[in-house]
Amino acid sequence: QDNEQPIVLLMKQQLSKKMYELLLEIGSIADQQSVKIYLIGGIVRDFILQRPNEDIDLVVEGDGIAFANQLKKQLGGNVKSHEKFGTATWTTEENHKLDIVTCRTEYYDAPAALPNVRASNIREDLRRRDFTINAMALQINKRQFGKLLDFFQGQEDIQLRKIRILHTLSFIEDPTRIIRAVRFALRFQYELAEHTFELALNAVPMLKQVSAKRLLREFELLQKENVTLDAVTCLQSLGIWSTLFHREPNEHTMKKLSTIIKEMPHPFITFLTIAYGQKDWHVVIKPYALISEHNQMIEQLIKMEQIDIKNESLSSIHDQLHLFQDDVLYLFAQLTNDQKLLTYLQKRKQLNLLLSGKDLIDKGLNPGPDFSDLLHQLACLQLDEIIQTKDDAVTWLENKVAELPLD
């Protein structure tokens, strides 16, 4: 038994004792079942890098779902499986989730399409993966516990600090890997290997064929690493923005973006900020508005472009904009660098109406259109600081009530 490998020490350091022992136990069960089993993906890389990671991905040379069910039989817990992909998630009694899959080869009917899969061996399974640093496996069968399989020089690339794909069609088959490459490069402060960079550059037009949903999802993962600005610059060097939005973010755009993402960290907003400013910004951004909120946002921004508030009082601005949502106004103000709009928005947010619906009812008014109209008028008067106290507001209301036609 060869438990003296340095990587086993790293595993021990980084996994909880429970998880480490669970892996030993899984290895023994795999032996009983005569299947080879491996830890795979990000966690192997992170053992070497000594970065915390408890995402356990296991692959078996054999039937992954059957093996997950065997674990459930012997150790309890629950299994959820997807026959179509040969994948299962085993949730232990202690609520640890472990993904268990069948070694597989992916093949593509068309570039940028989702892959078809068929069962295969560990080498094939590793070969289909994105980057060398993510394509190492650690066997956990008892006798081979801690045996590192590194067919593609992942360790060497960790030393060299390089993100390197495994085969020349990698980005063509899965263009989202271009964004993944940038994510890992920024996370670890690595560089894309020269050839990898060139292939990424060539594959960028393929990103147009990736669904908006997948692209936004990939970008969301990037934003979660808090590297959005660097990522935007890095992706620009690959020509992504001119490909997707016919526009490269300049210094001004980057400045706006740094402000906007603090308040609105959604990838759609990032895309919008980059696309905004050209004549047909709404056309290029539209495919990425996947929720009604974002569609409304586009519509409201288009309307905002027709409104000129430069010489208006706060009350007349309010008259025109009271139906617009805060975040649309905020975004528009930042995109167009409109200080006056920001001031209005701030005042509007701070505004406390001096009268409530109850005050109106007490004066004999019935809830209805008059009601909201009066409250809107009051908001305008307060914004212009014509009414500043509750007493002023009550007097104003009494006069208003007297003016109303009797019904």
Residue type, 209: Q
Binding range to ligand CTP, per CB under 6 A, among 144-152, 172-180, 248-256, 368-376: 172-180
Among 61, 125, 174, 359, which residue sits at the site for ligand CTP (rule: CB under 6 A)?
174
Nearest distance from C-beta of residue 151 to ligand CTP, angstroms: 13
Binding range to ligand CTP, per CB under 6 A, among 26-34, 111-119, 175-183, 374-382: 175-183
Contact string (CB under 6 A) for ligand CTP, positions 42-81, x = contact: x------------x--------------------------
Binding range to ligand CTP, per CB under 6 A, among 108-116, 174-182, 199-207, 325-333: 174-182
Contact string (CB under 6 A) for ligand CTP, positions 179-218, x = contact: -x--------------------------------------
Which residue has 């993100």 as its token pair?
A: 163
DSSP letter at 81 equals E
Please, what is the Cα angle at 151 between 149 and 156, to 5 degrees?
95
Nearest distance from C-beta of residue 32 to ligand CTP, angstroms: 27
Residues paired with 74 in a beta bridge: none
SS3 of residue 202 by DSSP: helix
> Is the separation of the CB atoms in 103 and 120 below 8 Å?
yes
SS3 of residue 42 by DSSP: helix
The pair phi, psi for residue 308, each rounded to 5°, is -115, 115
Q: Is 130 in the site for ligand CTP (CB under 6 A)?
A: yes
Nearest distance from C-beta of residue 205 to ligand CTP, angstroms: 18
For ligand CTP, the closer of residues 36 and 104 by Cβ is: 104
Q: Is 129 in the site for ligand CTP (CB under 6 A)?
A: yes
**Count of residues engaged in binding ligand CTP, rule: CB under 6 A:** 11
Nearest distance from C-beta of residue 230 to ligand CTP, angstroms: 17
Which residue has 């706006």 as its token pair?
A: 256
Of 374, 365, 370, nearest to 396 by C-alpha is 374
The pair phi, psi for residue 301, each rounded to 5°, is -65, -40
Helix and strand element counts for the chain (H, E): 22, 11
For ligand CTP, the closer of residues 177 and 294 by Cβ is: 177
For ligand CTP, the closer of residues 55 and 263 by Cβ is: 55
For ligand CTP, the closer of residues 170 and 300 by Cβ is: 170
Q: Is 162 in the site for ligand CTP (CB under 6 A)?
A: no
Among 104, 162, 164, 177, which residue sits at the site for ligand CTP (rule: CB under 6 A)?
177
SS3 of residue 4 by DSSP: coil
Q: Is 164 in the site for ligand CTP (CB under 6 A)?
A: no
Nearest distance from C-beta of residue 159 to ligand CTP, angstroms: 18
The pair phi, psi for residue 57, each rounded to 5°, is -110, 125
> Is the separation of the CB atoms in 363 and 357 below 8 Å?
no
DSSP H or E stretch at residue 295: helix 292-304
Nearest distance from C-beta of residue 270 to ligand CTP, angstroms: 19
Among 14, 70, 139, 176, which residue sits at the site for ligand CTP (rule: CB under 6 A)?
176
Cβ neighbours for 371, distance < 8 A, ≥ 6 positions apart:
357, 360, 365
User: CB nearest ligand CTP: which residue?
Assistant: 42
DSSP letter at 404 equals S
Distances (CA, A) of 257 to 58, 286, 348: 39, 19, 24
Rounded Cα gap, residues 290 and 260, in angstroms: 20
Interface residues toward ligand CTP, by CB under 6 A: 41-42, 55, 129-130, 134-135, 174, 176-177, 180
